């Protein structure tokens, strides 16, 4: 019997496949099964069993932590509380406005069964949120700015794909270098939405479609594009596949504040990710380790990233970390 | 009776004065006294009582957390274990090689009296160490690089001041932009000490002194300068006071690793500090808050930054942090 942490994955999209790939980098973990809502059979890359989610209860004693890889809009609000009754869980629930409600649902489920559920883990929410807390705690008289990109926004890409005559599309969110420079210089500017980010769209249109109309519909789309300076490029499906197939992303959290009489102190955290889903998966796995350890200590209920001591994330011992990293 | 966290400061140098200034930015804290080894009377900026360290025991019930602001070489190894028997403490002990030994001494003292001692808090060791842990836990197949500066190194400045004919000196450590760019690009270079940082010295010499000899002695000084490209400028005392009176510092921790098949993931944390001692003081205060809360929960013994859950640092409630920052 292996003493590795036994991981289950629920949902086998980009994120689930990223978790599967990430486990190969964690010698203290092993993947035991993938759980799915799908009824048609499929095989996973690592050839672990594929189990229908309705039969999850049969795996209760065989999975230490279930990594929930469903979507925040429809999957997690249902799957999360249901699976937290069976397993310790970790997820990347990212609908900011609904996090308090989701926390309460997960907390009730996890407590009812004596499990631990670590919610809203990833890079934003997740590491960026964590950095906002550290920065604000250390320099309380300061202001935190967040920039996203350059990277693909799935939501904005989907919104373009919904326009009549559009075959496919990828949208990049691009942070303004000049806005970031102004902040770093200590200027503390009031920035409009338009000044912080621009949007660049690569669109494959139907041969018949009116490109002028598509471009206008994109640029004027409420909430998604109307408050931004947006550039639209029409390209072929072949070019889209060749040059825009990855899902890069990243961003910067910048905190500027003063101490003493008038000394500027600047703290910055940034990510530059070739693969957004693989990075999110890696963060999920480090918090799966924390969930396992909290459960071992007998803790119960939901936790956010703020409540997890950093040492719980590392596979190394306290004395090794003190010696090597402190 | 105020319900603020009652802070004591031991040591009234740059760091102690920084803590005093920092408390003004923390509405949940108040400074109650400054403790000192000095026998001559002095007044603090905030006019709190100045107490000789030999009488610290009389303040046991009046101080919630003692912030130890002595030096790591001579003060803390003695004052730390002695004061941990009386108070909860937080310190910035930064002699890397001796941290495990210091941890054990502080742990024994704190446990003997039921106190909490949070050790080696600042930015390096401290926040940089913390970032190395997070980065390595999230992307385990990666490598972490640390760069320091641009900033004043007190140790190197002192080393120059020890040279015959030198009246005063300030030494800046400067990170190599090109080395950082190579790392960020995913190149994973093997960098020599010389390739990572350069050193720039501003020296006030005696009128009589041989500047050529001083410059040679600086550049060839073992450990401090001989492995670096060093520039030496001779300036007047007036110019030194006017242009080099602050203690700026900062640095970058960069972690690069791969996930999946071949995707580069880059994480970076950076500080740009107008005042190194004031920033360190601010970090100490946020961990003083954590020490207070751990003590309130009845925890005992020494802790490193790795063991402190981030939520303990913030003056805000869990629900407010979840709503505002997550």
What is the nearest CA distance from B272 to chain A, expressed in angstroms?
Answer: 5
**Interface contact flag, B21 A313, Cβ < 8 Å:** no
Q: What is the mean pLDDT of residues B218-227?
A: 95
Q: Where are the alpha helices (DSSP H) in A149-259?
A: 154-161, 177-184, 193-196, 211-219, 237-243
B279 vs A contacts (CB less than 8 Å):
138-139, 259, 265
Angle between helices B14-23 and B276-296 (to 10 degrees): 60
Which of B127, B275, B310 is nearest residue A260 as measured by Cβ atoms?
Answer: B275
Strand partners, B123: B126
Q: What is the mean pLDDT of residues A178-187?
A: 93
Question: Residue A134's pLDDT is what?
Answer: 98
Contact between residue A281 and residue A18 where contact means Cβ atoms under 8 Å apart: yes
With CA atoms as reference, the chain A residue closest to B287 would be A138
Q: Look up tokens 């510092």; give the residue.
A: B249
Render pLDDT for A220-274 as a digit per residue (tens, 0 to 9). Answer: 999 899 999 999 999 999 999 999 988 999 999 999 999 988 899 999 999 999 9
CA separation (Å) from A47 to A32, A50, A281, A298? 10, 8, 19, 32
B271 vs A contacts (CB less than 8 Å):
265-268
Question: Residue B1's pLDDT is what?
Answer: 55
What is the nearest CA distance from B210 to chain A, expressed in angstroms?
Answer: 37
| 3-class DSSP string for B127-161 | HHHHHHHHHHHHCCCEEEEEEECCEECHHHHHHHH
With CA atoms as reference, the chain B residue closest to A290 would be B137
Question: Residue A17's pLDDT is what?
Answer: 97
Contact between residue B101 and residue B285 where contact means Cβ atoms under 8 Å apart: no
A263-273 vs A249-259, strand pairing mode:
antiparallel
**Interface contact flag, B322 A306, Cβ < 8 Å:** yes
A151-152 vs A166-175, strand pairing mode:
antiparallel
pLDDT at position A21 over 70: yes
Which of A271, A306, A323 is nearest residue B267 as measured by Cβ atoms?
Answer: A271
Would you give the distance in Å from CA B212 to the centre of its chain?
Answer: 34
Q: What is the mean pLDDT of residues A195-217?
A: 97
| Integer Cα distance of B144 and B209 in angstroms | 44
End-to-end CA distance of chain A: 35
What is the nearest CA distance from A263 to chain B, expressed in angstroms?
Answer: 5
pLDDT at position A2 over 80: no
When the pLDDT of each residue in chain A is averaged and rounded to a whole number, the result is 96
ipTM of the complex: 0.96
| Integer Cα distance of B239 and B233 in angstroms | 11
**Interface contact flag, B326 A315, Cβ < 8 Å:** no
Q: What is the mean pLDDT of residues B11-25?
A: 96
Render pLDDT for A258-314 as a digit per residue (tens, 0 to 9). Answer: 998 889 999 999 999 999 999 999 999 999 999 999 999 999 999 999 999 999 999
Contact between residue B83 and residue B68 where contact means Cβ atoms under 8 Å apart: yes
| Integer Cα distance of B236 and B304 in angstroms | 43
Q: What is the mean pLDDT of residues A176-182?
A: 96
What is the nearest CA distance from B98 to chain A, expressed in angstroms?
Answer: 9
Q: What is the mean pLDDT of residues A12-36?
A: 96
Which of A133, A259, A281 is nearest residue B321 as measured by Cβ atoms?
Answer: A133
**Interface contact flag, A274 B286, Cβ < 8 Å:** no
A96 vs B contacts (CB less than 8 Å):
326
Report pTM. Answer: 0.96
| Integer Cα distance of A297 and A311 in angstroms | 14
Percent of chain A with pLDDT over 90: 93
DSSP string, A117-146: EE-S-SBTTBHHHHHHHHHHHHSSSEEEEE
Q: Look up tokens 């499929």; give the residue.
A: A42
Which of B137, B263, B269 is nearest residue A278 as measured by Cβ atoms?
Answer: B263
What is the nearest CA distance from B258 to chain A, expressed in angstroms?
Answer: 9
**Interface contact flag, A307 B305, Cβ < 8 Å:** no
pLDDT at position A109 over 60: yes
Local confidence band at B216 (pLDDT 50, 70, 90 cut-offs): very high
Q: Where are the alpha helices (DSSP H) in chain A?
A: 14-23, 76-84, 99-113, 127-138, 154-161, 177-184, 193-196, 211-219, 237-243, 276-296, 318-325
Q: Which helix (H) or strand (E) holds B322?
A: helix B318-325
**Interface contact flag, B326 A278, Cβ < 8 Å:** no
Asked whether the bond before A154 is cis by omega within 30 degrees of 0, the reply is no
Selection from B129, B181, B224 nearest residue A324 by Cα = B129
Render pLDDT for A259-270 as a digit per residue (tens, 0 to 9). Answer: 988 899 999 999
Angle between helices A276-296 and B127-138 (to 10 degrees): 100
Asked whether the bond before A150 is cis by omega within 30 degrees of 0, the reply is yes
**Interface contact flag, B279 A269, Cβ < 8 Å:** no
Q: What CA dihedral angle connects B172, B175, B177 and B182, to 10 degrees?
A: 170
Percent of chain B with pLDDT over 90: 93
**Interface contact flag, A286 B313, Cβ < 8 Å:** no
Q: DSSP 3-state assignment of B319?
A: helix
Question: Residue A195's pLDDT is what?
Answer: 96
Angle at A252 between CA B195 and CA A224, to 5 degrees: 145
A307 vs B contacts (CB less than 8 Å):
309-311, 318
pLDDT at position A320 over 60: yes
**Interface contact flag, A326 B318, Cβ < 8 Å:** no
Contact between residue B85 and residue B112 where contact means Cβ atoms under 8 Å apart: yes
Strand partners, B251: B148, B271
What is the nearest CA distance from A160 to chain B, expressed in angstroms?
Answer: 27
Question: Sign of the C-alpha dihedral, residues B313, B317, B322, B323?
Answer: negative
Which of A21, A265, A322 is nearest residue B103 as measured by Cβ atoms?
Answer: A322
Tokens of A235: 């390209």
Suggest the residue from B138, B152, B257 to mutate for an interface test with chain A (most A CBs closer than 10 A). Answer: B138
Q: Look up tokens 């997820």; give the residue.
A: A91
**Interface contact flag, B137 A323, Cβ < 8 Å:** no
What is the nearest CA distance from A306 to chain B, expressed in angstroms?
Answer: 5
**Interface contact flag, B311 A133, Cβ < 8 Å:** yes
A271 vs B contacts (CB less than 8 Å):
265-268
A278 vs B contacts (CB less than 8 Å):
259-260, 263, 265
How many contacts (CB atoms, under 8 Å) link A and B?
222
**Interface contact flag, A270 B268, Cβ < 8 Å:** yes
Render pLDDT for B182-197 as a digit per residue (tens, 0 to 9). Answer: 999 988 899 999 999 9
Which of B137, B270, B278 is nearest residue A313 as measured by Cβ atoms?
Answer: B137
With CA atoms as reference, the chain A residue closest to B98 would be A323
Suggest the residue from A96, A147, A260 to mutate for an interface test with chain B (most B CBs closer than 10 A). Answer: A260
Render pLDDT for B92-146 as a digit per residue (tens, 0 to 9). Answer: 999 989 999 999 999 999 999 999 999 999 999 999 999 999 999 999 999 999 9
Question: Residue B2's pLDDT is what?
Answer: 73
Q: Where are the alpha helices (DSSP H) in A167-275?
A: 177-184, 193-196, 211-219, 237-243
For B315, which DSSP code? S
Would you give the distance in Å from CA B159 to the centre of its chain?
Answer: 19
Local confidence band at A1 (pLDDT 50, 70, 90 cut-offs): low
Strand partners, A51: A35
What is the nearest CA distance from B28 to chain A, expressed in angstroms?
Answer: 12
A229-234 vs A197-205, strand pairing mode:
parallel
Question: Residue B155's pLDDT is what?
Answer: 87
When the pLDDT of each residue in chain B is averaged and rounded to a whole number, the result is 96
Angle at A314 between CA A313 and CA A317, to 5 degrees: 130
Contact between residue B152 and residue B174 where contact means Cβ atoms under 8 Å apart: no
Provide Rg for chain B, Cα atoms. 22
Selection from A261, A254, A134 nearest residue B286 by Cα = A134
CB contact set of A303 (below 8 Å; sequence gap of 6+): A116, A117, A118, A119, A291, A294
Question: Sign of the C-alpha dihedral, residues A80, A124, A285, A152?
Answer: positive
Render pLDDT for A118-140 as a digit per residue (tens, 0 to 9). Answer: 999 999 999 999 999 999 999 99
**Interface contact flag, A272 B21, Cβ < 8 Å:** no
Q: Look up tokens 């970076």; give the residue.
A: B268
Local confidence band at A168 (pLDDT 50, 70, 90 cut-offs): very high
What is the nearest CA distance from A74 to chain B, expressed in angstroms?
Answer: 20
**Interface contact flag, B314 A136, Cβ < 8 Å:** yes
**Interface contact flag, A325 B268, Cβ < 8 Å:** no
CB contact set of B197 (below 8 Å; sequence gap of 6+): B147, B148, B149, B173, B174, B175, B176, B228
What are the φ and ψ backbone dihedral angles of B172, each rounded to 5 degrees? -105, 130
With CA atoms as reference, the chain B residue closest to A266 would be B272
Q: Look up tokens 């310790």; give the residue.
A: A88
**Helix, strand, coil fractions of chain B, as percent rounded to 5:** 40, 25, 35
């Amino acid at each position: 019997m292996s003493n590795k942490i036994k991981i289950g994955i629920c949902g086998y999209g980009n994120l689930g496949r990223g978790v599967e790939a990430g486990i190969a980098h964690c010698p203290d973990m092993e993947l035991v099964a993938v759980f799915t809502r799908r009824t048609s059979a499929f095989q996973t890359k690592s050839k672990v069993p594929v189990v229908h989610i309705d039969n999850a209860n049969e795996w209760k004693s065989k999975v230490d932590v279930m990594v929930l890889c469903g979507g925040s809009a429809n999957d997690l609000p249902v799957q999360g509380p249901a699976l937290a009754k069976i397993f310790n869980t970790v997820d990347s629930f990212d609908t900011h406005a609904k996090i308090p409600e989701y926390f309460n649902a997960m907390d009730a489920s996890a407590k009812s069964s004596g499990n631990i559920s670590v919610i809203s883990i990833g890079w934003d929410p997740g590491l960026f949120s964590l950095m906002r807390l550290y920065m604000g705690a250390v320099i309380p008289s300061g202001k935190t700015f967040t920039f996203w990109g350059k990277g693909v926004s799935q939501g904005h890409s989907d919104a373009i794909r919904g326009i009549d005559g559009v075959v496919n599309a990828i949208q990049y969110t691009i942070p303004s270098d000049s806005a970031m420079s102004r902040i770093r210089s200590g200027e503390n500017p009031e920035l409009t939405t338009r000044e912080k980010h621009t949007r660049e769209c690569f669109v494959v249109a139907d041969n018949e479609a009116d490109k002028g109309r598509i471009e206008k519909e994109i640029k004027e789309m409420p909430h998604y594009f109307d408050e931004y300076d947006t550039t639209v490029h029409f390209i072929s499906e072949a070019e889209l596949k060749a040059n825009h197939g990855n899902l890069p992303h990243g961003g910067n959290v910048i905190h500027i504040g003063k101490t003493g009489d008038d000394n500027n102190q600047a703290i910055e955290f940034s990510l530059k990710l070739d693969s957004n889903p693989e990075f999110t998966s890696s963060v999920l796995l480090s918090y799966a380790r924390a969930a396992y350890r909290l459960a071992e200590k007998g803790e119960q209920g939901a936790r956010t990233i703020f409540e997890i001591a950093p040492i719980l994330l590392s596979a190394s011992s306290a004395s090794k970390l003190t010696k090597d990293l402190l």
